[in-house]
Amino acid sequence: MHRKSSEPLRLGEFEIYVLASILGAHGRSYGAAIHEAVEEITSRDVAQGAVYTALMRLEDKGLVTSWLGESTPERGGRPKRYYTVEAAGQRALCAALGTMKRAARLVALRQKL
């Protein structure tokens, strides 16, 4: 099945967690903070590499953008990479969460029968 250009991109479960983590970071949307938020959402240990792979994938899809901040002494002069969710990423996340809500309602309805 082909996606219509007006439809948001479909997201995997982990991509949903990463996008939600960026949106909930309140100005701390860099890799380590996103990683911590994903672990908090999932209540499990998550490999940092998995988060960075998802971030690259989301950036390739045009759902997030990144930029380098100022260099910091505590990072040995290396800058942090910050992430923000683009409008297309927000639409994709809303669509994915809407689908999950419909699925949850269906399960709840079936359990009442």
20-46 pLDDT, tens digit each: 999 998 767 999 999 999 999 999 999
Q: Which of 9, 61, 54 is nearest to 31 (CA)?
A: 54
Nearest-angstrom CA–CA distance, 64 and 76: 26
Q: What is the pLDDT of residue 50?
A: 97
- For residue 58, count other CB atoms closer than 10 A to its CB: 24
SS3 11: coil
SS3 65: strand
pLDDT mean values, one per 10 residues, the chain (113 residues): 62 96 85 95 96 97 94 87 94 93 88 74
- For residue 17, count other CB atoms closer than 10 A to its CB: 21
Domains of the chain: 13-112 (1.10.10.10)
